[in-house]
C-alpha cells in the first residue's frame, strides 16, 4: 500500500467491547481533529470520536476505532518511529512478582514483550522466560526452554506450546485490545492454576469525569479502551480470576516525580483552551499530541490469581 495515499479505515461500536451490554453514557469527545501516530497525522473520522462509559462494567471505550487491518498496516510503516523504550529497570514489576509468587523460580511469559526488557530483568536461570508480541523485535531472547509466541493476546488461534506459566505480565497492553473477552480467555489459558497475571494500564478513576476527553491517554490512536478497578474486577470475575491486589501508580516510565517547567506550561496552556492549543499546533506544523499532566498518577497495577477450578466460567 502506498504510504502517501493511505486512507484511514474505521469501525464503529455500539456495545461495550468487554461485557457486550449497550447501556452507556457518552462522557466526552476527543478534542483534537487528528491523531498523531509515529511521523503521521491521521484525521479523525467524520463526526469525531465519542467516548462512552459502560454503565454495566465501567469500561471507557471509543465509539470509533481504526480497523485492526488499518492499524496493522500503519504500525508496520511506522515501526521505526514507535517502540522506543527508554532505559527502564523493571525493578518495581520484579518486586511485585516476588511479592505474589512463592519461591525464586517461576516460568514467566511477558505479553507485549517488545525488546525483551522485562525478561532480561527477571532472574536468569530460574524458569522459562517467554515473550509474546506481534513481531520478534531485536533484542528479545527467550531462555530456560521458553518460547516466542507471535501474535496478539486476543488472537483466537494463538499458537503456543500449551505449557502454561506461573507468572504472566501484560504491561501497557490491555488498552490496545479490541476484544477483552478474547484476551482474558487467552490469559486464562496461558496461566497455570494458582498462577498470577500482572496488569498495568491507564486508570480512568484517576481522571475527573469531565476531563476524560482531555486525557492524553485516550488521544493515542492505538488506545481503544481504558480500564478502572471496577471494569478489571468485572472481567476478572467472569474469567475466574481473583483480584489479589489493586494499586494506583504512575506510568512505568515516569515513576519518579520531577518538575519540568516546559511540561508544566504546555499542559496548562492546553487545559486553558484545548481546541486552540491543537489548532495552533496544527497550523504551526508541529507533530504534537495532547500533553501529559505532569506527575499524574494515572495508571493502575492489578494482580490477578487464576482460580484453580473454574467458579462460574462459561465455557
Ligand atoms: Zn461493559
Residue with cell 466460567: 313
Q: Indicate if 109 and 64 belong to the same structural domain.
A: no
| 34 and 76 within one domain | yes
Average pLDDT, the chain: 89
Distance 60 CA to ligand 1 centre (A): 8
**Cα of 213 from ligand 1 centre, angstroms:** 19
Residue 159 lies in a domain: yes
If asked whether residues 152 and 206 sit together in one domain, one would say: yes
Burial class (CB in 10 A: 0-12, 13-18, 19+), 172: middle
Residues 99, 71, single domain; the answer is: no
Query: Based on the domain organization, do 18 and 152 belong to the same domain?
Result: no
Strand pairing report for 129-133 and 148-150: parallel
Question: Ligand 1 centroid vs 291 CA: distance in angstroms?
Answer: 28
Interval between CA 211 and ligand 1 midpoint (Å): 20
Whether 33 is in a domain gets the answer: yes
Q: Which are the contacts of 146, defined by CB distance < 8 A and separation ≥ 6?
A: 107, 108, 109, 119, 128, 129, 130, 131
Whether residue 73 is found in the same domain as residue 102: no
Cell numbers for 183, please give them.
484476551
Residues 56 and 179 in one domain: no
Task: Output the pLDDT for position 313.
Answer: 52
From the CA of 58, how far away is ligand 1's center (Å)?
6
For ligand 1, the distance from its centroid to the CA atom of residue 9, given in whole angstroms, is 24
Residue 185, pLDDT score = 97
Domain annotation covers residue 282: no
**Residues whose CB is under 5 A from ligand 1 (ion)?**
16, 18-19, 54, 56-57, 59
Question: What spacing in Å lies between the alpha carbon of 307 and ligand 1's midpoint?
Answer: 22
C-beta of residue 239 within 8 angstroms of C-beta of residue 290:
no
| Cα 238 to averaged position of ligand 1 atoms, centre (Å) | 12
Residue 41, classified by CB atoms within 10 Å of its CB into exposed (0-12), middle (13-18) or buried (19+), is middle
Instruction: State which of 59, 82, 105 marks the end of a domain.
Output: 82
In the chain, the number of structural domains is: 2
Task: Tell which residue, 176, 108, 169, has the closest CA to residue 142.
Answer: 108
Please report whether residue 158 resides in a domain: yes
Residues 60 and 126 in one domain: no
The last residue of a domain, from among 82, 101, 135:
82
Nearest to residue 62, comparing CAs of 207, 201, 178, 197?
178
What is the distance in A from the centroid of ligand 1 to the CA of 195? 26
More confident residue, 294 or 122: 122
Cα of 151 vs centre of ligand 1, distance in Å, is 25
Is 17 domain-assigned?
Answer: yes
In this prediction, residue 2 carries a pLDDT of 45
Q: How many CB atoms lie within 10 A of CB 189?
A: 12
- Residue 280 belongs to some domain of the structure: no
Residue range of the domain that includes 30: 3-82
Residues 175 and 156 in one domain: yes
Per residue in 92-102, pLDDT tens?
999 999 999 98
Confidence of residue 255 (pLDDT cuts 50, 70, 90): low
My answer on whether 234 and 187 are in the same domain is yes
CA 184/CA 154 separation, integer angstroms? 8
Whether residue 100 is found in the same domain as residue 217: yes
pLDDT for res 272: 82
Please check whether residues 104 and 224 belong to one and the same domain: yes
Distance CA 148, CA 168 (A): 14
CATH value at residue 223: 3.40.50.150
Ligand 1: distance of its center to the CA of 180 in Å? 10
pLDDT at 85 over 70: no
**4/69 Cα distance (integer angstroms):** 17
Better pLDDT: 50 or 1: 50
Output the CA 206–ligand 1 centroid distance in Å. Answer: 19
Separation of 15 CA from ligand 1 center, angstroms?
8
**Rounded CA separation 294/264 (Å):** 6
CA distance 315 to 303: 23
Does residue 250 contact residue 297 with C-beta atoms inside 8 Å?
yes
Report which of 223, 214, 238, 205 is spatially closest to residue 64, judged by C-alpha positions.
223
Is 263 inside a domain boundary?
Answer: no
Give the angle subtended at the CA of 218 by the CAs of 214 and 221, to the nearest 5°.
130
28, 55, 82: which is the final residue of a domain? 82
Query: Can you give the pTM of this predicted structure?
Result: 0.89
Is residue 163 situated within a structural domain? yes
Amino acid at each position: 500500500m502506498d504510504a502517501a495515499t493511505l486512507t484511514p479505515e474505521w469501525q464503529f461500536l455500539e456495545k461495550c467491547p468487554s461485557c457486550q451490554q449497550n447501556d452507556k453514557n457518552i462522557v466526552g469527545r476527543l478534542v483534537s481533529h487528528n491523531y498523531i501516530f509515529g511521523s503521521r497525522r491521521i484525521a479523525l473520522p467524520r463526526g469525531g470520536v465519542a467516548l462512552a462509559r459502560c454503565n454495566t462494567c465501567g469500561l471507557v471505550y471509543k465509539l470509533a476505532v481504526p480497523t485492526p487491518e488499518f492499524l496493522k498496516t500503519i504500525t508496520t510503516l511506522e515501526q521505526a518511529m514507535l517502540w522506543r523504550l527508554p532505559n527502564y529497570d523493571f525493578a518495581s514489576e520484579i518486586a511485585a512478582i516476588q511479592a505474589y509468587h512463592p519461591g525464586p523460580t517461576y516460568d514467566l511469559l511477558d505479553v507485549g514483550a517488545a525488546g525483551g526488557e522485562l525478561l532480561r530483568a527477571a532472574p536468569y536461570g530460574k524458569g522459562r522466560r517467554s515473550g509474546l508480541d506481534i513481531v520478534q523485535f531485536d533484542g528479545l531472547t527467550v531462555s530456560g526452554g521458553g518460547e516466542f509466541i507471535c501474535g496478539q493476546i486476543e488472537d483466537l488461534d494463538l499458537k503456543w506450546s500449551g505449557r502454561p506459566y506461573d507468572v504472566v505480565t501484560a504491561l501497557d497492553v490491555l488498552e490496545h485490545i479490541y476484544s477483552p473477552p478474547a484476551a482474558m480467555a487467552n490469559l486464562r489459558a496461558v496461566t497455570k492454576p494458582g498462577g498470577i497475571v500482572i496488569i498495568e494500564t491507564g486508570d480512568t478513576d484517576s481522571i475527573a469525569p469531565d476531563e476524560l476527553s482531555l486525557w492524553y491517554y485516550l488521544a493515542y490512536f492505538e488506545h481503544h479502551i481504558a480500564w478502572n478497578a471496577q471494569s478489571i474486577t468485572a472481567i476478572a470475575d467472569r474469567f475466574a480470576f481473583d483480584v489479589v491486589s489493586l494499586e494506583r501508580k504512575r506510568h512505568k516510565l515516569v515513576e519518579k516525580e520531577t518538575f519540568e517547567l516546559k511540561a508544566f506550561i504546555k499542559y496548562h496552556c492546553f487545559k486553558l483552551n484545548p481546541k486552540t492549543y491543537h489548532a495552533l499546533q496544527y497550523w504551526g506544523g508541529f507533530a504534537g499530541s495532547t500533553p501529559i499532566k505532569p506527575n499524574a498518577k494515572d495508571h493502575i497495577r492489578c494482580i490477578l490469581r487464576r482460580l484453580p477450578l473454574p467458579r462460574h466460567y462459561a465455557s
